[in-house]
Amino acid sequence: MYRYLLFYKPYNVLSQFTDKDGSKIEESSSVPLQGRSTLKDYIPVSSVYPVGRLDRDSEGLLLLTNNGRLQHRLADPRFGHSRTYWVQVEQVPDEVALNQLRSGVVIQNYRTRPAWVQRLPEDPPLPPREPPIRFRKTVPTSWLEISLTEGRNRQVRRMTAALGFPTLRLVRIKIGHLSLEGLQPGQWRDLTKAELEPLHRL
């Protein structure tokens, strides 16, 4: 029987059930990777796997299933399934910068697909991150909502950094019609019948 789960991945948790690289050194910090949390610390369900992934330093919605065909359909960028993020960045991007994000940004010799981007008028209703983000008191921050139809490695972070707006916090709030609403960090649940119906049509 197929299982379909939604999980609110906290910060500093790997999007996998085992930490195969736990004895290595993380390039960005020169700190051993031992003791990192994995999905196994939160989800007591066997034989389900995440559709796509979130980086360890990102938070938010993960869909897990044991339906391999569905995993392929949702993860393959050819099918253009949207993913929506709330992104806290340094500085306040103007309309010129937002339009650059919308039309596509060149990162690693690749131009990203057009994206839906808006600046949020106020901070989104998110629980505090543990540990809190590091920010400079003299540098303002702002929140963006960004929807992509592709998911290259660290794409959102590279897009904002390319325009001079480093990402401080990144939270995925939607995968297609599926939403983070009703979940707190570390919580998971099965999909409802209404949520499953659009997936069965893929």
CATH of the domain at 188: 3.30.70.580
CB-based burial label for 147 (10 Å; 0-12, 13-18, 19+): middle
Q: What is the pLDDT of residue 33?
A: 54
pLDDT at 148: 94
Q: Are residues 106 and 156 in the same domain?
A: yes
Are 73 and 87 members of one domain? no
pLDDT at 22 (0 to 100): 59
Asked if 68 and 87 sit in the same domain, the reply is no
Same domain assignment for residues 154 and 89: yes
Report pTM. 0.90
170 & 92 share domain: yes
Q: Are residues 62 and 133 in the same domain?
A: no
For residue 123, the number of C-alpha atoms closer than 13 Å in the C-beta half-sphere is 7
For residue 186, the enclosing domain spans 1-80+177-202
Told to judge if 19 belongs to the known catalytic residues of this protein, a careful annotator would answer no
Neighbours of 175 (CB within 10 A): 21
Return the bridge partners of 178, or none.
175
Which one, of 52, 53, 140, 14, lies nearest residue 88 by Cα?
140
CB 42 within 8 A of CB 183: no
Looking at the structure, tell me whether residues 170 and 182 fall in a common domain: no
Cis peptide before 50 (omega within 30 of 0): no
196: three-class secondary structure by DSSP = helix
Return the pLDDT at 19: 87
Identify whether residues 88 and 171 lie together within a single domain. Answer: yes
Is 8 in the same domain as 70?
yes
Active-site residue among 19, 21, 41, 55?
A: 55
**Same domain flag for 18 and 29:** yes
Tokens describing residue 85: 């993020």
C-beta separation of 159 from 105 below 8 A:
yes
Q: Are residues 147 and 184 in the same domain?
A: no
Q: Per-residue confidence of the chain (202 residues) as pLDDT tens digits?
A: 899 999 999 999 999 999 877 544 444 444 445 568 999 999 999 899 999 889 999 999 999 999 998 888 887 767 668 999 999 999 999 999 999 999 999 998 899 999 999 999 999 999 999 889 987 888 999 999 999 998 788 999 999 999 999 999 999 999 999 999 999 999 999 999 999 999 887 6
